[in-house]
Amino acid sequence: MQAIKASSFSPFQINFNSSSFPKHNLYNIHPNYENPISCFPSIQSQNAKFKILTAVSPSVSTESGTPFDEETESVSHVEKFDWYAQWYPIMPICDLDKRRPHGKKVMGMDVVVWWDKNEKEWKVMDDACPHRYAPLSEGRIDQWGRLQCVYHGWCFNGSGDCKFIPQAPRDGPPVHTSKRACATVYPSCVQNDILWFWPNADPLYKDIYLTKRPPYIPELDDSSFSKTFITRDIAYGYELLIENLMDPAHVQYSHYGIMNVPNCLCTVKADREGGRPLDITITKLDVNTITANQGPGRNTFLPPCMYYSYFAFGGPQGITSAESSGSVQEKPSAEKQKKALLVFICIPVSPGHSRIMFASPRNFATWADRIVPRWIFHLGQNLILDSDLYLLHVEEHKLKEIGSYNWHKACYVPTKADAIVAAFRRWLNKYAGGQVDWRGKYSGELPPTPPREQLLDRYWTHTVNCTSCNLAYKGLNALEVILQIASIGVVGIVAASKQGMLSVVVRYSLVTVALLCFVASRWLSHFIYKNFHFHDYDHAFR
């Protein structure tokens, strides 16, 4: 049970003795769990018939002729998952700047995100000016609150209408009113402080938010819960990202030395890292949902992007219900029950590239988020992502050679620890075409493996896109320069002073200060590079 607990809270159980992270162990979980009650009825699909699956069931046997031999219905009659009839997240709004446009890629689509101050809404548009297809994300917001293309100055409002063409004669025909001058606008909405968009600009979907909404997590909007978002681009694909998050057994090994795994009540311990059997059971698998019981918690996958785990412990059990308005109602109790969630939002970007958003709302130790800066948390969370990034990148290339529909034959998954991963692969092959539908945008080949330093880059994959880390990065760089100048300045003062003007004690004190400033600047330079640019995690020395 403790192994389940450790893996489930893995993004927070960081080894705070690490030199790259301050010492704040905030997430020690009480060992006495009670069975949690799901708090997500608002985002659960309607109950349907399903089979109980584990990784040792015939449904995921590596000896099966096909991945779905146990199914009695023809695969051709199975309901298919439509990749382009879903909501996709772009970014948490805390990392979006209203003063400029942002370019993002989702589902192989290049989109531009910008704040329309006239309509007081975030807008998502095709990142291509209809004039000559220059990227609108390289443009600016003009003084009237319009999106201006930086190439020729064409201006667009939040509806995509072209409002101004500088090259058009003022007394000539109004060419800017042509439909061909309009930019493509996608339906979008803000939910759970995340900007979502619908990847179909057909007018039929203009009001899609009224009939179909993104998955909703009430705790992300609950003021009694604390949360901190992190977003990072990953150099391996969507399928491997989902699999990795669904796999608790890798935590003790891939992240050894980084994460504090609590002592297990179980006496089974086969090695130094503490790997042990995990009892995971799939309780539902259909086109819209995968659910699994994992010790004291419950895991849910809502395709294509949402995967979350819910835990409740300590105090009496209270039934939580989420209304459509987002309100949360609980049965009153003398002692408030502690609750925590791990919310992973996985975004397909392009073959071999994905993006993860992560938050862990909780109703205990909420003071930590108010005291500890957000970028401090991000240092440890980035280290966790780095520690298995390279091996997953290589694994993806090997699995590409095998093929998605041969996964169950090639991969030997005999234990219950792999139950959720096997269930995801079954969902992917049975309902979703075996892979993300890129609609012919790509050849099907994965990008080549770049140098390790480029593969594990943090600056372009996280720092520049995170308002907190970007501000800290600039501040620390400024502090480094100040220390260097101070060091040189103090040495100059000592050298320029005449003999006898300064006592021996003062002279040696100034030299000591100069030396300390120099050492601090060099240490700070190393700290900045290691935590905001590149951290090479070597498993061999852990």
Domain boundaries, the chain: 88-210, 219-261+277-314+337-451, 467-541
Tell me the one-letter amino acid at 268: V
Per-residue pLDDT tens listing for the chain (542 residues): 333 344 444 333 444 344 443 333 333 333 333 333 334 334 433 333 334 444 433 333 333 333 334 443 455 567 899 999 999 999 999 999 999 999 999 999 999 999 999 999 999 999 999 999 999 999 999 999 999 999 999 999 999 999 999 999 988 899 999 999 999 999 999 999 999 999 999 999 999 999 999 999 999 999 899 889 999 999 999 999 999 999 988 888 888 777 765 544 455 566 777 778 888 999 999 999 999 988 777 899 999 999 999 887 765 444 333 333 333 344 444 457 888 899 999 999 999 999 999 999 998 888 888 899 999 999 999 999 999 999 999 999 999 999 989 998 999 999 998 999 999 999 999 999 999 999 999 988 999 999 999 999 999 999 999 999 999 999 999 999 999 999 999 888 888 876 667 777 888 888 899 999 999 999 999 999 999 999 877 665 55
- Tell me how far apart the alpha carbons of residues 272 and 318 are, in angstroms, rounded to a whole number: 38
Q: How far is CA 437 from CA 196, 279, 350, in A?
A: 19, 33, 10
How many Cα neighbours within 13 Å face the side chain of 153? Answer: 6
Asked whether 272 and 257 are in contact (CB, 8 A), the reply is no
CA nearest neighbour of 91 among 215, 218, 233, 239: 233
Domains 88-210 and 219-261+277-314+337-451 share a fold: no
- Tell me how far apart the alpha carbons of residues 498 and 502 are, in angstroms, rounded to a whole number: 8
Confidence (pLDDT) at 253: 83
- Tell me how far apart the alpha carbons of residues 466 and 459 are, in angstroms, rounded to a whole number: 10
pTM beyond 0.85, yes or no? no
Asked whether 126 and 344 are in contact (CB, 8 A), the reply is no
CA nearest neighbour of 299 among 58, 4, 60: 4
Radius of gyration over every alpha carbon of the chain, rounded to an integer in angstroms: 26
- Tell me how far apart the alpha carbons of residues 487 and 211 are, in angstroms, rounded to a whole number: 63
**Cβ count within 10 A of residue 308:** 24
Q: Is the peptide bond before 304 cis (omega within 30 degrees of 0)?
A: yes
**Cβ count within 10 A of residue 149:** 22
Cα dihedral sign for 245, 249, 253, 255? positive
- Tell me how far apart the alpha carbons of residues 98 and 491 are, in angstroms, rounded to a whole number: 45
User: What is the CATH T-level fold of the domain 88-210, as seen in this structure?
Assistant: Rieske Iron-sulfur Protein (2.102.10)
Which residues are registered as beta bridge partners of 310? 298, 341
Structural tokens at position 284: 């539902």
**What CATH number is given for 219-261+277-314+337-451 in this structure?**
3.90.380.10
CA nearest neighbour of 530 among 391, 380, 394: 380
Confidence (pLDDT) at 515: 94
- Tell me how far apart the alpha carbons of residues 33 and 337 are, in angstroms, rounded to a whole number: 11
Residue range 83-138, pLDDT digits in tens: 999 999 999 999 999 999 999 999 999 999 999 999 999 999 999 999 999 999 99
Structural tokens at position 271: 């090695």
Helix (H, G, I), strand (E, B) or coil at 254: helix
The C-alpha angle 362, 472, 375, rounded to 5 degrees, equals 15
Confidence (pLDDT) at 262: 55
Pairing type for strands 88-92 and 194-197 reads antiparallel
- Tell me how far apart the alpha carbons of residues 207 and 86 are, in angstroms, rounded to a whole number: 14
Instruction: Give me the phi and psi of 60, to 5 degrees please.
Output: -125, 20
Confidence (pLDDT) at 261: 57
- Tell me how far apart the alpha carbons of residues 55 and 417 are, in angstroms, rounded to a whole number: 7
Tell me the one-letter amino acid at 36: P
Residue range 307-344, pLDDT digits in tens: 999 887 765 444 333 333 333 344 444 457 888 899 99
- Tell me how far apart the alpha carbons of residues 373 and 351 are, in angstroms, rounded to a whole number: 34
**Cβ count within 10 A of residue 115:** 22
